[in-house]
């Protein structure tokens, strides 16, 4: 064996050195924590592009021996955190590194400011509300606003449609579709008989019910905003029909083969004559109630992010009824309303570039309403008595109104969901109000400009800061409304929200046509809330204080010197976990409110408010028998009622008052689901729906009406103690049975 030559020896030495340098280990030690300095266990530490790596222990610590010298990259990752790479240059035998990982956006998401609002979206996870959850509350009769009465903040007002929120009237809650005002969400009012909604509640993929402190991009609502976002393209073409004794209808949705556009039409007709012959009603209906509704829509995907949507509906209702006249036992009071309403909404949204977005909408509404009041004898012949109060009991009131709105909102988005939003809108109203033969015409424009910023100070602190300026040509006044809300999220996912805002609303048209010049009514909201969501449960507690100023008063002449306050605490708890297949929520609303407005002689508890309201809503599906069951139960303390009389000085005073008995209402609804034509290419998804409202038949009194002299006092009660429905619904192409389960009269 030949001796190794020197170069060989050197070479081998070098090689050995190299090998030994591989063997020479550096120990990398350290700790991985999150931004709150909590240790992260099971985080993975890898020397990049090598198999060398280790997981952290339960204290977040690790020690990783590595056998490579020189510059290296250490990669640290953990589910829910942003993966971090750090450069290391190990020279010593031990290298200490402390690593802080930031929470990943996708896991918890940016904190969303949510003071004052309930949001139901089709993206809701766990115990958050989806639009379906919100609108399938038993007994809501297919009216979103009714369904939302089961959420905290709303009062149980059984004699009238609409949302009475936190001491506000239903006129102080406005509904918006894709940014545009929906001026007449329900059919024309009938005294004592709540009217159904015009718009199908299943049209929406997002429902935001704000009970206060809402965004500066909406206005002209003193108490509450119901912000609705309509669906985009349907998943599939479908057809549907439903047959109930109260209502029949059919519809179709057609999606083009490229899934770029769709159109749809729906028609339904309801006449309660037949139903009322089976279930006697207290008012004697001589016409209807009769409803005809048709709607049409088209939706076009104009680009990858662009969407153009058109929705229109036409509604007609005609209801005539007779009640005993309150001032005379042998006379009848006849009331008839005929109403036609057309609504159209064209909206467009798209990204103009990566960071600029536009949301634009134009909307138009036409409404023609005729109310005929008659005083009649027992033979239904009209009688005229020229003395008070009978001389005011024969009247014809015509209201013809046009409404148009144009609106554009531009959004500039920044990193971390931050954004600046600004825009402007104009509302045009033209109303011809004819009382008997006297016509008053009012034409006005309200112009508003607004700006709002979504600011994320850290991942867990967010704020929404906005301001809105409004000018009304009718009032000839300009107002400025600041709004701010903030949110802070705790490490456990719990969240505190707070909001402050000033809100203005123009007085109702009926007060503007009278003499006197009221200004904007004003409300200031202060809200604080805590909510926590985990493990399929959601808890929310909210407290608020509201101050009202410049409310309309009519005592004795129209003015705006009304004022008041509202304060309360509300609780919402939803649990989808404890009982298998049972989803329930419990709501408690405490409200203390007083206001002086209209003919109130001083600040009193308004007759549409009560201190305590409790709701229990439960839904269960029985898969073995294909039956879904929904239950809602509400309990509320009595409402105050007053008899206002006018004194000799022309001012009103309270001559009698009291509180109604407790209100309680149990509603049940069921749907049995099946398929009739299994062999069909587009098989049907069918169901039989049936339900009953006020199951226990409790006597519900909403208030009292008084005769002019205060001697006759008549309770305001529902037209019938209980109400029922049963019917069949079918859909083809797509399973939309859920839509029908509660969407009926």
Partner 1 sequence: MKKTIIILSAVLLTGVILHAQGDTQKLQQDVAKLDNATSVNDYQQLAAGFARIAESEKTQWLPYYYAAFCNAKTGWLNEDDPDNIEGYANKAEEQIKKALSLLDTATQKKELSEVYCVVSMVNRARVFMNPATYGRQYGPPASMYIQLAKKANANNPRALYLDGWEKFSTPKMWGGDKNKAKELLLAAQQTLAGNISAGIEPHWGKKEVDDLLKQLK
The footprint of partner 1 (CB under 8 A) covers: 5, 8, 11-12, 15, 19, 22, 42-44, 46, 48-51, 53, 55, 75, 77-80, 104, 106-107, 122-128, 130, 132-133, 235, 493, 533-536, 577, 621, 623-624, 626, 673-675
Question: How far from the centroid of its chain's Cα atoms is residue 660's Cα?
Answer: 29
CA distances from 564 to 148, 167, 381, 545 (A): 25, 9, 45, 11
Nearer to partner 1, 534 or 714 (CB): 534
What is the nearest approach in angstroms of partner 1 to the Cβ of residue 625?
9
End-to-end CA separation in angstroms for the chain = 106
What is the nearest approach in angstroms of partner 1 to the Cβ of residue 418?
22
What is the nearest approach in angstroms of partner 1 to the Cβ of residue 741?
12
What is the nearest approach in angstroms of partner 1 to the Cβ of residue 133?
7
What is the nearest approach in angstroms of partner 1 to the Cβ of residue 132?
6
Determine the Cα–Cα distance for residues 102 and 647; give it in Å rounded to an integer.
Answer: 70
What is the nearest approach in angstroms of partner 1 to the Cβ of residue 72?
13
Q: Which of 176, 440, 432, 186 is nearest to 317 (CA)?
A: 186
- Cβ atoms of 440 and 482 closer than 8 Å: no
Q: Strand pairing partners for 320?
A: 287, 336
What is the nearest approach in angstroms of partner 1 to the Cβ of residue 51?
4
Nearer to partner 1, 25 or 664 (CB): 25
CA distances from 637 to 155, 332, 696 (A): 11, 33, 17
Cis preceding-peptide flag for 700 (omega within 30 of 0): no
Nearer to partner 1, 440 or 626 (CB): 626
By three-state DSSP, how is residue 443 classified? strand
- Cβ atoms of 718 and 158 closer than 8 Å: yes
* Enclosing H/E stretch for 369: strand 356-376
Nearer to partner 1, 138 or 552 (CB): 138
Nearer to partner 1, 128 or 398 (CB): 128
Nearer to partner 1, 129 or 216 (CB): 129
What is the nearest approach in angstroms of partner 1 to the Cβ of residue 265?
23
Q: Which of 565, 567, 492, 486 is nearest to 529 (CA)?
A: 486
By three-state DSSP, how is residue 741 classified? helix
Burial of 288 (0-12, 13-18, 19+ CB in 10 A): buried
Nearer to partner 1, 36 or 355 (CB): 36
Nearer to partner 1, 90 or 687 (CB): 687
What is the nearest approach in angstroms of partner 1 to the Cβ of residue 674?
7
Q: Strand pairing partners for 284?
A: 322
What is the nearest approach in angstroms of partner 1 to the Cβ of residue 59?
15
Angle among Cα 59, 65, 66 to the nearest 5 degrees reads: 135
Nearer to partner 1, 521 or 631 (CB): 631
What is the nearest approach in angstroms of partner 1 to the Cβ of residue 455?
24
Nearer to partner 1, 126 or 697 (CB): 126
What is the nearest approach in angstroms of partner 1 to the Cβ of residue 621?
7
How many CB atoms neighbour CB 319 within 10 A? Answer: 24
Nearer to partner 1, 19 or 714 (CB): 19
Q: Strand pairing partners for 243?
A: 248, 728
Nearer to partner 1, 123 or 304 (CB): 123
Question: How far from the centroid of its chain's Cα atoms is residue 735's Cα?
Answer: 24
- Cβ atoms of 80 and 107 closer than 8 Å: yes
- Residue 234 DSSP one-character state: -
Q: Which of 322, 318, 512, 536 is nearest to 433 (CA)?
A: 512
Burial of 199 (0-12, 13-18, 19+ CB in 10 A): buried
């Amino acid at each position: 064996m030949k001796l190794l030559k020197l170069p060989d020896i050197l070479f081998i030495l070098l090689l050995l050195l190299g090998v030994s340098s591989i063997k020479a280990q550096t120990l990398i030690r350290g700790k991985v924590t999150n931004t709150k300095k909590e240790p992260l266990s099971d985080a993975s530490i890898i020397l990049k592009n090598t198999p060398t790596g280790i997981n952290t222990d339960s204290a977040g610590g690790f020690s990783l021996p590595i056998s490579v010298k020189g510059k290296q990259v250490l990669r640290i990752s953990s589910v829910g955190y942003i993966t971090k790479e750090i450069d290391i240059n190990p020279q010593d035998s031990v290298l200490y590194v402390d690593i802080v990982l930031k929470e990943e956006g996708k896991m918890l998401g940016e904190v969303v400011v949510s003071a004052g609002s309930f949001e139901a979206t089709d993206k809701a996870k766990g115990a958050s509300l989806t639009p379906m959850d919100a609108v399938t509350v038993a007994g809501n009769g297919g009216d979103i606003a009714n369904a939302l009465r089961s959420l905290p903040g709303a009062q149980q007002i059984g004699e009238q449609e609409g949302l009475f929120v936190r001491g506000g009237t239903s006129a102080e809650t406005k509904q918006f579709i894709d940014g545009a005002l929906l001026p007449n969400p329900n059919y024309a009012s009938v005294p004592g008989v709540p009217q159904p909604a015009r718009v199908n509640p299943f049209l929406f993929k997002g429902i935001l019910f704000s009970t206060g402190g809402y965004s500066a991009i909406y206005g002209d609502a003193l108490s509450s905003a119901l912000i609705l976002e309509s669906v985009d393209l349907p998943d599939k073409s479908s057809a549907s029909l439903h047959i109930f004794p109260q209502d029949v209808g059919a519809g179709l949705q057609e999606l083009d083969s490229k899934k770029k556009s769709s159109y749809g039409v729906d028609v339904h007709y309801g006449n309660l004559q037949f139903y009322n012959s089976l279930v006697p009603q207290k008012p004697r209906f001589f016409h209807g109630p009769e409803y005809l509704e048709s709607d049409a829509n088209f939706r076009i995907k104009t680009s990858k992010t662009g969407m153009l949507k058109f929705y229109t509906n036409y509604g007609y209702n005609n209801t005539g009824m007779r009640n005993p006249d309150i001032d005379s036992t042998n006379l009848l009071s006849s009331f008839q309303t005929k109403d036609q309403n057309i609504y159209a909404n064209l909206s467009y949204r798209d990204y103009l570039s990566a960071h600029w977005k536009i949301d634009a909408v134009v909307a138009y509404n036409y409404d023609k309403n005729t109310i005929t009041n008659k005083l009649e004898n027992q033979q239904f012949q009209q009688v005229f008595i020229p003395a008070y109060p009978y001389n005011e009991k024969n009247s014809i009131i015509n209201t013809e109104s046009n409404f148009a709105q144009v609106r554009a909102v531009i959004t500039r988005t920044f990193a971390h969901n931050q954004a600046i939003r600004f825009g402007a809108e104009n509302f045009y109203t033209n109303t011809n109000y004819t009382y008997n033969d006297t016509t008053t015409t009012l034409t006005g424009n309200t112009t508003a400009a607004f700006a709002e910023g979504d600011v994320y100070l850290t991942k867990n602190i967010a704020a929404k800061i906005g301001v809105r300026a409004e000018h009304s040509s009718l009032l000839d006044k300009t107002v400025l409304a600041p709004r701010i809300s903030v949110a802070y999220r705790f490490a456990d996912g719990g969240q505190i929200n707070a909001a402050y805002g000033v809100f203005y609303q123009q007085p109702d048209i009926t007060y503007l046509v009278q003499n006197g010049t009221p200004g904007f009514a004003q409300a200031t909201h202060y809200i604080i809330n805590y909510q926590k969501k985990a493990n399929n449960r959601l808890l929310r507690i909210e407290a608020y204080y509201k101050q009202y100023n410049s409310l309309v008063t009519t005592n004795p002449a129209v003015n705006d010197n009304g004022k008041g306050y509202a304060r309360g605490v509300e609780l919402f708890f939803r649990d989808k976990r404890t009982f298998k297949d049972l989803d329930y929520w419990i709501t408690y609303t405490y409200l203390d409110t007083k206001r002086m407005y209209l003919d109130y002689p001083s600040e009193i508890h308004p007759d549409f408010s009560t201190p305590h309201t409790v709701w229990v809503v439960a839904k269960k599906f029985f898969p073995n028998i294909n039956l879904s069951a929904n239950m809602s139960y509400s309990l509320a303390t009595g409402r105050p009622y007053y008899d206002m009389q006018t004194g000799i000085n022309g001012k009103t005073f309270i001559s009698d008052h009291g509180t109604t008995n407790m209100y309680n209402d149990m509603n049940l609804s069921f749907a049995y689901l099946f398929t009739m034509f299994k062999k069909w290419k587009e098989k049907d998804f069918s169901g039989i729906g049936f339900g009953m409202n006020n199951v226990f038949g409790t006597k519900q009194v909403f208030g009292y009406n008084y005769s002019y002299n205060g001697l006759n006092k008549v309770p305001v009660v529902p037209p019938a103690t209980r109400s029922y429905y049963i019917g069949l619904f079918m859909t083809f192409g797509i399973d939309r049975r859920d839509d029908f389960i509660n969407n009926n009269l």
